[in-house]
Structure 1
Amino acid sequence: MTPRVLVIQHEDKAPPGLLLPWVERAGLTCDLLPAHEGYAVPADLGDHAALVVLGGSMDAWDDAAYRWLLPTRALIAGTVAAGRPFLGVCLGHQLAALALGGEVGRLPQGQTVGLRAWVPTSEGLADPLTRALSPGTEVLHWNSDTVTALPPGATLLASAGDGSVQAARLGPLAWGVQFHPEVDAGLVAGWTTGRPTDAEVGALQALRERQHELHPAWEQLVRRFVALAAAHPG
Protein backbone atom coordinates (compact mmCIF):
# COMPACT_ATOMS: atom_id res chain seq x y z
CA MET A 1 0.00 0.00 0.00
CA THR A 2 1.27 3.48 -0.87
CA PRO A 3 2.38 5.40 2.25
CA ARG A 4 0.07 8.29 3.13
CA VAL A 5 0.69 11.75 4.50
CA LEU A 6 -1.86 13.32 6.86
CA VAL A 7 -2.37 16.99 5.90
CA ILE A 8 -4.26 19.29 8.28
CA GLN A 9 -6.01 22.32 6.76
CA HIS A 10 -7.28 25.29 8.81
CA GLU A 11 -9.44 27.30 6.42
CA ASP A 12 -10.83 27.23 2.89
CA LYS A 13 -8.50 29.91 1.58
CA ALA A 14 -5.37 28.04 2.72
CA PRO A 15 -5.64 24.68 0.93
CA PRO A 16 -2.68 22.36 0.28
CA GLY A 17 -2.32 23.75 -3.23
CA LEU A 18 0.64 22.31 -5.10
CA LEU A 19 1.61 20.13 -2.13
CA LEU A 20 -0.84 17.44 -3.22
CA PRO A 21 0.42 16.86 -6.77
CA TRP A 22 4.04 17.23 -5.70
CA VAL A 23 3.69 14.66 -2.91
CA GLU A 24 1.92 12.26 -5.23
CA ARG A 25 4.53 12.77 -7.94
CA ALA A 26 7.16 11.84 -5.35
CA GLY A 27 5.39 8.57 -4.57
CA LEU A 28 3.14 9.17 -1.56
CA THR A 29 -0.54 10.05 -1.25
CA CYS A 30 -2.24 12.65 0.93
CA ASP A 31 -5.20 12.36 3.29
CA LEU A 32 -6.57 15.88 3.73
CA LEU A 33 -8.22 16.67 7.07
CA PRO A 34 -10.14 20.00 6.97
CA ALA A 35 -10.17 20.63 10.71
CA HIS A 36 -12.10 23.90 10.30
CA GLU A 37 -15.06 21.92 8.95
CA GLY A 38 -15.43 20.01 12.20
CA TYR A 39 -13.41 16.90 11.40
CA ALA A 40 -11.71 15.62 14.54
CA VAL A 41 -7.94 15.84 14.74
CA PRO A 42 -6.64 12.37 15.71
CA ALA A 43 -4.69 11.76 18.89
CA ASP A 44 -1.80 10.21 16.99
CA LEU A 45 -0.52 9.72 13.47
CA GLY A 46 -1.69 6.11 13.26
CA ASP A 47 -0.52 4.39 10.11
CA HIS A 48 0.28 7.61 8.26
CA ALA A 49 3.88 8.01 7.18
CA ALA A 50 4.09 11.74 7.98
CA LEU A 51 2.21 14.81 9.19
CA VAL A 52 1.96 18.17 7.40
CA VAL A 53 0.18 21.11 9.06
CA LEU A 54 -0.69 23.95 6.70
CA GLY A 55 -0.94 27.71 7.16
CA GLY A 56 -3.90 29.85 8.12
CA SER A 57 -4.82 33.41 9.04
CA MET A 58 -5.62 32.68 12.71
CA ASP A 59 -3.20 33.12 15.62
CA ALA A 60 -1.52 29.92 16.78
CA TRP A 61 -2.63 30.55 20.37
CA ASP A 62 -6.32 31.37 19.70
CA ASP A 63 -7.80 28.15 21.07
CA ALA A 64 -11.07 29.77 22.14
CA ALA A 65 -12.05 30.77 18.59
CA TYR A 66 -10.48 27.79 16.80
CA ARG A 67 -11.08 24.70 18.91
CA TRP A 68 -9.01 22.36 16.74
CA LEU A 69 -5.73 24.20 17.38
CA LEU A 70 -5.18 22.58 20.78
CA PRO A 71 -5.58 18.98 19.51
CA THR A 72 -3.47 19.90 16.49
CA ARG A 73 -0.65 21.04 18.75
CA ALA A 74 -1.01 17.83 20.75
CA LEU A 75 -0.78 15.77 17.58
CA ILE A 76 2.32 17.67 16.50
CA ALA A 77 3.97 17.18 19.90
CA GLY A 78 3.24 13.46 19.86
CA THR A 79 4.46 13.07 16.29
CA VAL A 80 7.75 14.84 17.01
CA ALA A 81 8.25 12.99 20.31
CA ALA A 82 7.80 9.68 18.48
CA GLY A 83 10.50 10.68 15.97
CA ARG A 84 8.06 10.61 13.05
CA PRO A 85 8.22 12.96 10.04
CA PHE A 86 6.56 16.37 10.42
CA LEU A 87 6.47 19.55 8.35
CA GLY A 88 4.77 22.73 9.54
CA VAL A 89 4.08 25.54 7.06
CA CYS A 90 3.60 29.11 8.34
CA LEU A 91 0.85 28.65 10.97
CA GLY A 92 1.82 24.97 11.16
CA HIS A 93 5.38 26.03 11.97
CA GLN A 94 4.11 28.38 14.69
CA LEU A 95 1.79 25.73 16.16
CA ALA A 96 4.73 23.34 16.35
CA ALA A 97 6.89 25.91 18.13
CA LEU A 98 4.18 26.43 20.77
CA ALA A 99 3.51 22.69 21.08
CA LEU A 100 7.16 22.00 21.79
CA GLY A 101 7.79 24.76 24.31
CA GLY A 102 8.71 27.75 22.13
CA GLU A 103 7.04 31.15 21.80
CA VAL A 104 5.09 32.91 19.05
CA GLY A 105 4.12 36.57 18.78
CA ARG A 106 3.49 39.46 16.43
CA LEU A 107 6.16 40.67 14.06
CA PRO A 108 7.36 43.98 15.55
CA GLN A 109 7.48 45.65 12.14
CA GLY A 110 4.08 44.38 11.05
CA GLN A 111 3.08 41.95 8.35
CA THR A 112 5.71 40.48 6.05
CA VAL A 113 4.41 39.99 2.52
CA GLY A 114 6.35 39.05 -0.59
CA LEU A 115 9.21 37.07 -2.00
CA ARG A 116 12.24 36.93 0.28
CA ALA A 117 15.61 35.28 -0.19
CA TRP A 118 16.25 31.94 1.50
CA VAL A 119 19.14 32.65 3.88
CA PRO A 120 20.25 29.40 5.52
CA THR A 121 22.56 29.09 8.48
CA SER A 122 25.45 26.64 8.30
CA GLU A 123 23.10 24.08 9.84
CA GLY A 124 20.50 24.87 7.20
CA LEU A 125 23.02 24.26 4.43
CA ALA A 126 23.74 20.78 5.78
CA ASP A 127 20.24 19.86 6.97
CA PRO A 128 18.69 16.74 5.37
CA LEU A 129 15.62 18.73 4.29
CA THR A 130 16.61 22.33 3.73
CA ARG A 131 19.76 21.60 1.78
CA ALA A 132 17.30 21.01 -1.08
CA LEU A 133 16.94 24.81 -1.32
CA SER A 134 19.88 26.76 -2.72
CA PRO A 135 20.89 29.92 -0.83
CA GLY A 136 19.25 32.98 -2.35
CA THR A 137 16.25 31.04 -3.69
CA GLU A 138 13.23 33.29 -3.21
CA VAL A 139 10.34 31.99 -1.12
CA LEU A 140 6.96 33.54 -0.37
CA HIS A 141 6.33 35.03 3.08
CA TRP A 142 2.82 36.15 4.07
CA ASN A 143 2.61 36.42 7.85
CA SER A 144 1.92 38.76 10.75
CA ASP A 145 3.11 36.39 13.50
CA THR A 146 6.47 34.73 13.94
CA VAL A 147 8.31 32.31 16.20
CA THR A 148 9.93 34.59 18.77
CA ALA A 149 11.69 31.81 20.70
CA LEU A 150 12.54 28.37 19.38
CA PRO A 151 11.66 25.32 21.51
CA PRO A 152 14.39 23.69 23.60
CA GLY A 153 16.64 21.59 21.39
CA ALA A 154 15.47 23.15 18.12
CA THR A 155 17.99 24.28 15.51
CA LEU A 156 17.72 27.51 13.54
CA LEU A 157 18.06 26.67 9.85
CA ALA A 158 17.44 30.07 8.27
CA SER A 159 16.67 33.67 9.21
CA ALA A 160 14.65 36.07 7.08
CA GLY A 161 15.97 39.52 6.23
CA ASP A 162 14.27 41.02 9.29
CA GLY A 163 15.99 38.54 11.59
CA SER A 164 12.90 36.42 12.20
CA VAL A 165 12.96 32.63 12.08
CA GLN A 166 12.60 31.49 8.48
CA ALA A 167 12.98 27.76 9.16
CA ALA A 168 13.91 25.46 12.01
CA ARG A 169 14.51 21.79 12.70
CA LEU A 170 12.31 20.84 15.62
CA GLY A 171 13.34 17.19 15.96
CA PRO A 172 15.29 14.53 14.06
CA LEU A 173 12.58 14.38 11.38
CA ALA A 174 10.57 17.52 12.19
CA TRP A 175 10.75 20.88 10.48
CA GLY A 176 8.92 24.18 10.42
CA VAL A 177 9.11 26.78 7.64
CA GLN A 178 7.64 30.28 7.93
CA PHE A 179 7.27 30.62 4.16
CA HIS A 180 4.82 28.96 1.75
CA PRO A 181 6.34 26.43 -0.67
CA GLU A 182 2.89 25.12 -1.69
CA VAL A 183 1.31 28.15 -3.36
CA ASP A 184 0.69 29.54 -6.81
CA ALA A 185 -0.68 32.94 -7.80
CA GLY A 186 -4.26 31.71 -7.99
CA LEU A 187 -4.17 30.49 -4.40
CA VAL A 188 -2.46 33.62 -3.07
CA ALA A 189 -4.99 35.87 -4.81
CA GLY A 190 -7.54 34.54 -2.31
CA TRP A 191 -5.51 35.97 0.58
CA THR A 192 -6.11 39.59 -0.42
CA THR A 193 -9.24 41.09 1.11
CA GLY A 194 -10.97 44.41 0.51
CA ARG A 195 -8.45 46.85 -0.93
CA PRO A 196 -5.09 45.01 -1.22
CA THR A 197 -2.03 46.80 0.11
CA ASP A 198 0.78 47.78 -2.23
CA ALA A 199 2.86 44.96 -0.76
CA GLU A 200 0.12 42.41 -1.49
CA VAL A 201 -0.35 43.65 -5.05
CA GLY A 202 3.40 43.56 -5.63
CA ALA A 203 3.80 40.09 -4.14
CA LEU A 204 0.98 38.69 -6.24
CA GLN A 205 2.32 40.24 -9.42
CA ALA A 206 5.83 38.97 -8.74
CA LEU A 207 4.51 35.47 -8.11
CA ARG A 208 2.46 35.51 -11.32
CA GLU A 209 5.50 36.52 -13.31
CA ARG A 210 8.04 34.21 -11.69
CA GLN A 211 6.26 31.10 -10.41
CA HIS A 212 7.45 29.10 -13.42
CA GLU A 213 11.03 29.55 -12.20
CA LEU A 214 10.27 29.38 -8.47
CA HIS A 215 8.09 26.27 -8.38
CA PRO A 216 10.80 23.77 -9.41
CA ALA A 217 12.91 24.82 -6.40
CA TRP A 218 9.94 24.72 -4.03
CA GLU A 219 8.93 21.33 -5.33
CA GLN A 220 12.40 19.98 -4.57
CA LEU A 221 11.90 20.90 -0.91
CA VAL A 222 8.57 19.05 -0.82
CA ARG A 223 10.01 16.05 -2.66
CA ARG A 224 12.90 15.91 -0.20
CA PHE A 225 10.46 15.81 2.71
CA VAL A 226 8.58 13.00 0.99
CA ALA A 227 11.81 11.05 0.53
CA LEU A 228 12.66 11.45 4.22
CA ALA A 229 9.12 10.41 5.21
CA ALA A 230 9.20 7.36 2.96
CA ALA A 231 12.54 6.30 4.45
CA HIS A 232 11.28 6.68 8.04
CA PRO A 233 7.56 5.79 8.00
CA GLY A 234 7.40 5.01 11.72
Structure 2
Amino acid sequence: MESRRRRPWRTRDYCADAPAQCNLAPRRRRRRDACPPMRRILVFQHVATEPLGHLDPLLRDAGIRIRYVNFGREPHAEPGVAGYDALIVLGGPMNVDQVHELPHLRYEMAAISEMVVRDRPVLGICLGGQLLAAAMGGDVRPNPVPEIGWYQIHTRPAAHEDRLFRHFERRPHFIFQWHAYTFAPPPGAVPLAWTRNCRNQGYRLGDHAWGVQFHLEADAALIERWISSPGGRSEIERYWDARRVARIRAATSAHLPAATALSERLFGEFLGYFSRRRYATLGSR
Protein backbone atom coordinates (compact mmCIF):
# COMPACT_ATOMS: atom_id res chain seq x y z
CA MET A 1 0.00 0.00 0.00
CA GLU A 2 1.41 3.38 -1.00
CA SER A 3 2.67 5.49 1.88
CA ARG A 4 0.57 8.54 2.75
CA ARG A 5 3.68 10.50 3.66
CA ARG A 6 4.15 13.87 1.95
CA ARG A 7 6.20 13.50 -1.18
CA PRO A 8 9.72 14.77 -0.46
CA TRP A 9 9.63 17.29 -3.30
CA ARG A 10 6.52 18.97 -1.93
CA THR A 11 8.38 21.22 0.48
CA ARG A 12 7.91 24.87 1.26
CA ASP A 13 11.31 25.64 -0.24
CA TYR A 14 10.27 24.05 -3.51
CA CYS A 15 6.91 25.73 -3.57
CA ALA A 16 8.42 29.14 -2.85
CA ASP A 17 10.36 28.78 -6.09
CA ALA A 18 7.45 27.33 -8.05
CA PRO A 19 4.21 28.73 -6.60
CA ALA A 20 2.20 27.85 -9.68
CA GLN A 21 2.73 24.13 -9.00
CA CYS A 22 1.97 24.14 -5.31
CA ASN A 23 -0.13 25.92 -2.70
CA LEU A 24 2.40 25.49 0.10
CA ALA A 25 4.32 28.62 -0.85
CA PRO A 26 4.37 31.26 1.89
CA ARG A 27 1.99 34.08 1.10
CA ARG A 28 3.69 37.37 0.36
CA ARG A 29 2.04 40.59 1.40
CA ARG A 30 0.98 42.69 -1.54
CA ARG A 31 2.58 46.12 -1.55
CA ARG A 32 0.01 48.74 -0.64
CA ASP A 33 0.90 50.83 -3.66
CA ALA A 34 1.22 47.96 -6.12
CA CYS A 35 -2.34 48.44 -7.34
CA PRO A 36 -3.54 51.99 -6.65
CA PRO A 37 -7.30 52.47 -6.27
CA MET A 38 -9.31 53.84 -9.18
CA ARG A 39 -9.51 57.61 -9.08
CA ARG A 40 -12.97 59.10 -8.53
CA ILE A 41 -14.16 62.45 -9.82
CA LEU A 42 -17.28 64.36 -8.83
CA VAL A 43 -19.05 66.34 -11.56
CA PHE A 44 -21.61 69.05 -10.82
CA GLN A 45 -23.99 69.40 -13.77
CA HIS A 46 -26.75 72.01 -13.89
CA VAL A 47 -28.74 71.14 -17.01
CA ALA A 48 -28.77 68.13 -19.33
CA THR A 49 -27.72 70.30 -22.28
CA GLU A 50 -24.35 71.13 -20.68
CA PRO A 51 -22.51 67.82 -20.16
CA LEU A 52 -18.79 67.05 -20.07
CA GLY A 53 -18.39 67.13 -23.86
CA HIS A 54 -14.76 66.47 -24.83
CA LEU A 55 -13.97 65.70 -21.20
CA ASP A 56 -16.14 62.58 -21.08
CA PRO A 57 -14.03 60.29 -23.33
CA LEU A 58 -10.82 61.62 -21.76
CA LEU A 59 -12.05 60.63 -18.30
CA ARG A 60 -13.24 57.21 -19.41
CA ASP A 61 -10.07 56.45 -21.36
CA ALA A 62 -8.07 57.30 -18.24
CA GLY A 63 -10.09 54.77 -16.22
CA ILE A 64 -11.50 57.44 -13.91
CA ARG A 65 -14.81 56.75 -12.20
CA ILE A 66 -17.32 59.58 -12.77
CA ARG A 67 -20.07 60.55 -10.30
CA TYR A 68 -22.55 62.96 -11.86
CA VAL A 69 -24.78 65.17 -9.75
CA ASN A 70 -27.35 66.82 -12.03
CA PHE A 71 -28.98 69.58 -10.01
CA GLY A 72 -31.59 70.04 -12.71
CA ARG A 73 -32.94 66.61 -11.77
CA GLU A 74 -31.83 66.50 -8.12
CA PRO A 75 -32.04 70.10 -6.87
CA HIS A 76 -31.73 69.04 -3.23
CA ALA A 77 -28.73 66.71 -3.67
CA GLU A 78 -25.84 67.38 -1.28
CA PRO A 79 -23.24 64.63 -1.77
CA GLY A 80 -20.22 64.56 0.50
CA VAL A 81 -16.97 65.39 -1.26
CA ALA A 82 -14.52 63.61 1.06
CA GLY A 83 -14.29 60.46 -1.07
CA TYR A 84 -13.43 62.17 -4.35
CA ASP A 85 -10.06 62.98 -5.87
CA ALA A 86 -11.19 65.97 -7.95
CA LEU A 87 -14.21 68.12 -8.81
CA ILE A 88 -15.44 69.52 -12.12
CA VAL A 89 -18.21 72.13 -12.06
CA LEU A 90 -19.93 72.62 -15.42
CA GLY A 91 -21.84 75.55 -16.91
CA GLY A 92 -25.52 76.41 -16.82
CA PRO A 93 -28.04 79.14 -17.71
CA MET A 94 -28.44 80.38 -14.14
CA ASN A 95 -26.34 83.01 -12.35
CA VAL A 96 -24.44 82.86 -9.07
CA ASP A 97 -26.71 85.47 -7.47
CA GLN A 98 -29.78 83.20 -7.78
CA VAL A 99 -29.04 81.36 -4.52
CA HIS A 100 -32.51 82.10 -3.10
CA GLU A 101 -34.27 80.60 -6.12
CA LEU A 102 -31.71 77.78 -6.51
CA PRO A 103 -30.39 76.78 -3.05
CA HIS A 104 -28.11 74.14 -4.56
CA LEU A 105 -25.83 76.98 -5.71
CA ARG A 106 -25.06 77.72 -2.06
CA TYR A 107 -24.29 74.05 -1.44
CA GLU A 108 -22.05 73.95 -4.51
CA MET A 109 -19.98 76.88 -3.29
CA ALA A 110 -19.56 75.20 0.10
CA ALA A 111 -18.50 71.95 -1.60
CA ILE A 112 -16.06 73.80 -3.86
CA SER A 113 -14.54 75.55 -0.85
CA GLU A 114 -14.15 72.23 0.96
CA MET A 115 -12.38 70.66 -2.02
CA VAL A 116 -9.98 73.61 -2.20
CA VAL A 117 -9.27 73.33 1.55
CA ARG A 118 -8.68 69.59 1.11
CA ASP A 119 -6.11 70.41 -1.58
CA ARG A 120 -8.11 68.52 -4.22
CA PRO A 121 -8.00 69.68 -7.87
CA VAL A 122 -11.01 71.70 -9.01
CA LEU A 123 -11.95 72.79 -12.53
CA GLY A 124 -14.80 75.28 -12.98
CA ILE A 125 -16.16 75.91 -16.48
CA CYS A 126 -18.23 79.05 -17.26
CA LEU A 127 -20.80 79.08 -14.42
CA GLY A 128 -18.46 76.66 -12.64
CA GLY A 129 -15.61 79.16 -12.86
CA GLN A 130 -17.92 81.84 -11.47
CA LEU A 131 -18.99 79.59 -8.58
CA LEU A 132 -15.34 78.85 -7.76
CA ALA A 133 -14.56 82.57 -7.76
CA ALA A 134 -17.57 83.42 -5.56
CA ALA A 135 -16.86 80.54 -3.16
CA MET A 136 -13.32 81.77 -2.57
CA GLY A 137 -14.06 85.49 -2.18
CA GLY A 138 -14.08 86.73 -5.77
CA ASP A 139 -16.76 88.75 -7.51
CA VAL A 140 -19.25 87.78 -10.22
CA ARG A 141 -20.95 90.48 -12.27
CA PRO A 142 -22.50 91.10 -15.71
CA ASN A 143 -19.91 91.37 -18.46
CA PRO A 144 -19.96 94.70 -20.37
CA VAL A 145 -21.22 92.77 -23.43
CA PRO A 146 -22.31 89.13 -23.82
CA GLU A 147 -20.05 86.69 -25.67
CA ILE A 148 -21.77 84.00 -27.75
CA GLY A 149 -19.72 82.34 -30.46
CA TRP A 150 -16.01 82.02 -31.22
CA TYR A 151 -13.64 84.53 -29.61
CA GLN A 152 -9.88 84.80 -29.56
CA ILE A 153 -8.48 83.94 -26.12
CA HIS A 154 -5.20 85.66 -25.24
CA THR A 155 -2.97 84.46 -22.40
CA ARG A 156 -1.20 86.55 -19.78
CA PRO A 157 2.51 86.11 -18.94
CA ALA A 158 1.73 83.87 -15.93
CA ALA A 159 0.03 81.39 -18.27
CA HIS A 160 3.37 80.47 -19.82
CA GLU A 161 4.38 78.65 -16.62
CA ASP A 162 0.94 77.33 -15.71
CA ARG A 163 0.43 73.58 -15.77
CA LEU A 164 -2.72 73.84 -17.93
CA PHE A 165 -2.46 77.13 -19.79
CA ARG A 166 1.08 76.56 -21.03
CA HIS A 167 -0.58 74.43 -23.71
CA PHE A 168 -1.77 77.66 -25.34
CA GLU A 169 1.89 77.95 -26.37
CA ARG A 170 1.98 81.76 -25.99
CA ARG A 171 -0.43 82.43 -28.84
CA PRO A 172 -4.15 83.25 -29.05
CA HIS A 173 -6.72 80.54 -29.78
CA PHE A 174 -10.32 80.78 -30.95
CA ILE A 175 -12.53 79.07 -28.36
CA PHE A 176 -16.32 78.87 -28.11
CA GLN A 177 -18.08 81.05 -25.53
CA TRP A 178 -21.59 81.57 -24.20
CA HIS A 179 -21.92 83.91 -21.25
CA ALA A 180 -23.33 87.25 -20.14
CA TYR A 181 -21.71 87.28 -16.68
CA THR A 182 -18.05 87.09 -15.75
CA PHE A 183 -15.85 86.69 -12.68
CA ALA A 184 -13.19 88.73 -10.94
CA PRO A 185 -10.63 86.19 -9.68
CA PRO A 186 -10.64 85.59 -5.91
CA PRO A 187 -7.91 87.07 -3.68
CA GLY A 188 -4.54 85.44 -4.32
CA ALA A 189 -5.59 83.94 -7.66
CA VAL A 190 -3.39 84.29 -10.75
CA PRO A 191 -5.14 85.74 -13.85
CA LEU A 192 -4.26 83.68 -16.92
CA ALA A 193 -6.35 84.74 -19.93
CA TRP A 194 -8.50 87.49 -21.46
CA THR A 195 -10.46 88.52 -24.54
CA ARG A 196 -11.07 91.95 -26.04
CA ASN A 197 -14.56 92.05 -24.48
CA CYS A 198 -13.87 90.20 -21.21
CA ARG A 199 -10.78 90.92 -19.13
CA ASN A 200 -10.95 87.69 -17.08
CA GLN A 201 -11.20 84.45 -19.03
CA GLY A 202 -9.21 82.15 -16.77
CA TYR A 203 -7.36 82.01 -13.45
CA ARG A 204 -5.59 79.60 -11.12
CA LEU A 205 -6.10 79.54 -7.36
CA GLY A 206 -3.18 77.99 -5.49
CA ASP A 207 -1.68 75.16 -7.50
CA HIS A 208 -4.73 72.94 -7.93
CA ALA A 209 -7.88 74.97 -8.78
CA TRP A 210 -8.72 76.58 -12.13
CA GLY A 211 -11.68 78.64 -13.32
CA VAL A 212 -12.35 79.34 -17.00
CA GLN A 213 -15.06 81.38 -18.69
CA PHE A 214 -14.83 79.70 -22.10
CA HIS A 215 -16.27 76.37 -23.28
CA LEU A 216 -13.25 74.36 -24.38
CA GLU A 217 -15.25 71.20 -23.62
CA ALA A 218 -17.86 71.96 -26.32
CA ASP A 219 -17.85 69.64 -29.33
CA ALA A 220 -19.69 70.07 -32.64
CA ALA A 221 -22.86 68.33 -31.46
CA LEU A 222 -23.09 70.46 -28.31
CA ILE A 223 -22.56 73.73 -30.15
CA GLU A 224 -25.19 72.85 -32.74
CA ARG A 225 -27.60 71.87 -29.98
CA TRP A 226 -27.09 75.19 -28.20
CA ILE A 227 -27.44 77.48 -31.21
CA SER A 228 -30.38 75.61 -32.78
CA SER A 229 -32.54 75.29 -29.66
CA PRO A 230 -35.43 77.79 -29.39
CA GLY A 231 -33.99 79.28 -26.22
CA GLY A 232 -30.51 79.54 -27.71
CA ARG A 233 -31.69 81.20 -30.91
CA SER A 234 -33.82 83.62 -28.91
CA GLU A 235 -30.86 84.66 -26.77
CA ILE A 236 -28.62 85.10 -29.82
CA GLU A 237 -31.21 87.23 -31.63
CA ARG A 238 -31.65 89.37 -28.52
CA TYR A 239 -28.14 90.75 -29.10
CA TRP A 240 -27.50 90.11 -32.81
CA ASP A 241 -29.52 89.53 -35.96
CA ALA A 242 -30.65 86.13 -37.27
CA ARG A 243 -27.51 85.77 -39.42
CA ARG A 244 -25.42 85.29 -36.28
CA VAL A 245 -26.32 81.57 -36.10
CA ALA A 246 -25.01 80.94 -39.62
CA ARG A 247 -21.80 82.80 -38.77
CA ILE A 248 -21.31 80.66 -35.66
CA ARG A 249 -21.75 77.48 -37.72
CA ALA A 250 -19.13 78.67 -40.22
CA ALA A 251 -16.74 79.61 -37.42
CA THR A 252 -17.27 76.20 -35.79
CA SER A 253 -16.14 74.45 -38.97
CA ALA A 254 -13.07 76.70 -39.12
CA HIS A 255 -11.97 76.69 -35.47
CA LEU A 256 -13.21 73.46 -33.86
CA PRO A 257 -10.33 71.16 -34.97
CA ALA A 258 -7.68 73.36 -33.34
CA ALA A 259 -9.85 73.90 -30.25
CA THR A 260 -10.36 70.13 -29.91
CA ALA A 261 -6.61 69.53 -30.04
CA LEU A 262 -6.08 72.20 -27.37
CA SER A 263 -8.83 70.71 -25.19
CA GLU A 264 -7.17 67.29 -25.28
CA ARG A 265 -3.86 68.78 -24.14
CA LEU A 266 -5.26 71.12 -21.49
CA PHE A 267 -7.85 68.75 -20.03
CA GLY A 268 -5.45 65.83 -20.35
CA GLU A 269 -2.99 67.77 -18.20
CA PHE A 270 -5.66 68.33 -15.55
CA LEU A 271 -6.63 64.66 -15.48
CA GLY A 272 -3.02 63.51 -15.40
CA TYR A 273 -2.27 65.95 -12.60
CA PHE A 274 -4.86 64.64 -10.17
CA SER A 275 -4.38 61.01 -11.25
CA ARG A 276 -0.71 61.15 -10.19
CA ARG A 277 -1.18 63.02 -6.92
CA ARG A 278 -1.01 61.55 -3.42
CA TYR A 279 -3.20 63.13 -0.76
CA ALA A 280 -3.06 63.66 2.95
CA THR A 281 -6.23 62.53 4.70
CA LEU A 282 -8.29 65.28 6.32
CA GLY A 283 -11.34 64.82 8.46
CA SER A 284 -14.72 66.13 7.37
CA ARG A 285 -15.46 69.71 8.33
Q: TM-score, normalised by structure 2?
A: 0.76
Kindly indicate whether the alpha-carbon contact (under 8 Å) linking 2:216 and 2:259 is maintained by their aligned counterparts in 1: no
Pick aligned residue for 1:103 from 139, 156, 165: 139
> Which contiguous aligned blocks of 4+ residues in structure 1 show a shift greater than 6 angstroms?
none
Kindly indicate whether the alpha-carbon contact (under 8 Å) linking 2:174 and 2:255 is maintained by their aligned counterparts in 1: no
Unaligned 5+ residue runs, structure 1?
Answer: none
- 1:174 corresponds to: 209
**Corresponding position: 1:61 with 2:97:** yes
Q: Say which is worse superposed, 132-141 or 96-105, in terms of deviation.
A: 132-141
Secondary structure of 1:112's match?
strand
- 1:85 corresponds to: 121
For residues 81 and 31 of structure 1, what CA distance do their matches in structure 2 show?
A: 21
**Code of the aligned partner of 2:275:** A
For residues 78 and 265 of structure 2, what CA distance do their matches in structure 1 show?
A: 28
**Corresponding position: 1:222 with 2:261:** no
Deviations 1:183-218 (A, max 9, x none): 112212232324543444422332144423321111
Secondary structure of 1:229's match?
helix
- 2:13 corresponds to: none
**Code of the aligned partner of 1:114:** G
Deviations 1:97-129 (A, max 9, x none): 1100111011112x1012222311111111112
Offset at residue 27 of structure 1 (A): 4.1
Kindly indicate whether the alpha-carbon contact (under 8 Å) linking 2:182 and 2:198 is maintained by their aligned counterparts in 1: no
Q: TM-score, normalised by structure 1?
A: 0.91
**Code of the aligned partner of 2:84:** H
What aligned pairs does 1:1-234 form with structure 2 within 5 A after superposition? 1-38=37-74, 40-43=77-80, 45-109=81-145, 111-134=146-169, 135-147=171-183, 149-192=184-227, 193=231, 194-195=233-234, 196-197=236-237, 198-232=243-277, 234=279
For residues 174 and 50 of structure 1, what CA distance do their matches in structure 2 show?
A: 10
**Code of the aligned partner of 2:270:** F
> Which protein shows a greater Rg?
2
Secondary structure of 1:144's match?
strand
Unaligned 5+ residue runs, structure 2?
Answer: 1-36, 238-242, 280-285
Secondary structure of 1:14's match?
coil
Q: Percent identity?
A: 31
- 2:14 corresponds to: none
Secondary structure of 2:109's match?
helix
Kindly indicate whether the alpha-carbon contact (under 8 Å) linking 1:26 and 1:223 is maintained by their aligned counterparts in 2: no
Offset at residue 77 of structure 1 (A): 0.8
For residues 80 and 19 of structure 1, what CA distance do their matches in structure 2 show?
A: 21
For residues 201 and 101 of structure 1, what CA distance do their matches in structure 2 show?
A: 39
Kindly indicate whether the alpha-carbon contact (under 8 Å) linking 1:168 and 1:176 is maintained by their aligned counterparts in 2: yes
Kindly indicate whether the alpha-carbon contact (under 8 Å) linking 1:35 and 1:41 is maintained by their aligned counterparts in 2: no
For residues 79 and 57 of structure 2, what CA distance do their matches in structure 1 show?
A: 24
Larger RCO: 1 or 2 (CA < 8 Å, sep 6+): 1
For residues 245 and 93 of structure 2, what CA distance do their matches in structure 1 show?
A: 15
Cα distance change of structure 1 residues 14 and 163 upon mapping to structure 2, 3 Å threshold: closer
- 2:21 corresponds to: none
Cα distance change of structure 1 residues 188 and 173 upon mapping to structure 2, 3 Å threshold: same
Kindly indicate whether the alpha-carbon contact (under 8 Å) linking 1:8 and 1:52 is maintained by their aligned counterparts in 2: yes
**Code of the aligned partner of 1:164:** R
Offset at residue 168 of structure 1 (A): 0.2
Secondary structure of 1:97's match?
helix
